[in-house]
Structure 1
């Protein structure tokens, strides 16, 4: 671990690693302190609560997902292709980083009171720019219904695809061997259900 990095960032680094390798349940202030090689009380200087620590870790996940969204959207031309690229990136991220993905959207676990003294917005605000991007693209796709509701339904659909695939339910019912092929088809089906069929 880079000892030159500020301690707060090093603690988050350890927390991110724990979430990615062992899941949210493994993340505790004492365990992070032990792995970072500092006293058990050191993390409390930066994270007054367990929720504040989880929020700092989840913020890293949102930053990573936002970068993936930007890269995916940049490779697509039309709004619909961008929505598809974002959908595939979302499901792909969920399956590659299950622990982080599960943490990021557990707002019941995360700090929503602004207790983190970082000068940054509350963690819940990290979800909003990504959702607003989806709403904008859905609107540009010419969705006839309320774009915000349509985007929310599409997001819920994609989230369900990610969870049910990760839990083994979709591979079971589809008899799926190849994740890439089926996930792409499921993303296409979700887009068709919410945005209508793609133009031929």
Structure 2
């Protein structure tokens, strides 16, 4: 059985995936969880702290998807884009450092190991490449994921998988 803090985060994550970040309010999360509107404040004193907890959950979900995809850069890149397309609002929240900085939930403790894992995987497949090369590739992949999540690549007829192949070639 989940404790109340976990239930609140689960509800907030569902609202985020259904309706976007603007719909994730403390009052709406409380209503859908079936608790008083003040109850979430015991666990999340600010809306930003609730958003940070949801982002932490999203990063954990992303990490699970990446690790389940397999141990190649192609697999990770495809899983990264697939996650962004399946959960665009969650994906966007993960990179809202302007809103989440200092809000708690140790987001760097989850996100930095993902980036480090990417760099190790990239450099393992490409021993001549540097960490900067790996981060450069990730920024391109992130751009493809971001544009794919909002279907902007559809407008120009670009295939995300073809773009990923070019970046990883």
TM-score past 0.5 threshold: yes
* Equivalent in the alignment of 1:119: none
Equivalenced residues, count: 169
* Equivalent in the alignment of 1:173: 156
Q: CA RMSD in A?
A: 1.6
Shift of 1:144: 3.1
Q: Please give the per-residue CA displacement for 1:8-31, whole angstroms capped at 9, x wherever unaligned.
A: 111111101011011111111111
* Equivalent in the alignment of 1:87: 77
* Equivalent in the alignment of 2:51: 54
* Equivalent in the alignment of 1:198: none
* Structure 1 Cα separation of the partners of residues 149 and 63 of structure 2: 21
Gaps of 5+ in 2: none
* Equivalent in the alignment of 1:137: 121
* Equivalent in the alignment of 2:108: 124
* Structure 1 Cα separation of the partners of residues 127 and 165 of structure 2: 16
- The answer to whether 1:100 aligns with 2:122 is no
Name the SS of the counterpart of 1:125 in structure 2: helix
* Equivalent in the alignment of 2:160: 183
In 2, are the aligned partners of 1:112 and 1:123 still within 8 Å (CA)? no
Q: Please give the per-residue CA displacement for 1:42-93, whole angstroms capped at 9, x wherever unaligned.
A: 00100011111001111111111111111112xx5xxxxx001000000000
In 2, are the aligned partners of 1:112 and 1:124 still within 8 Å (CA)? no
* Structure 2 Cα separation of the partners of residues 113 and 92 of structure 1: 27
- The answer to whether 1:155 aligns with 2:155 is no
* Structure 1 Cα separation of the partners of residues 147 and 127 of structure 2: 26
Structure 1 residues 113 and 27, CA, compared in 2 at 3 Å: closer, same or farther? closer
Name the SS of the counterpart of 2:168 in structure 1: helix
Larger Cα-atom Rg: 1
* Equivalent in the alignment of 1:42: 39
Gaps of 5+ in 1: 77-81, 117-121, 177-181, 193-200
Q: Please give the per-residue CA displacement for 1:166-193, whole angstroms capped at 9, x wherever unaligned.
A: 333321212x6xxxxx22212111112x
In 1, are the aligned partners of 2:30 and 2:36 still within 8 Å (CA)? yes
TM-score by length of 1: 0.79
Q: Which has more helix, going by share of residues?
A: 2
Shift of 1:165: 2.3
Structure 1 residues 134 and 9, CA, compared in 2 at 3 Å: closer, same or farther? same
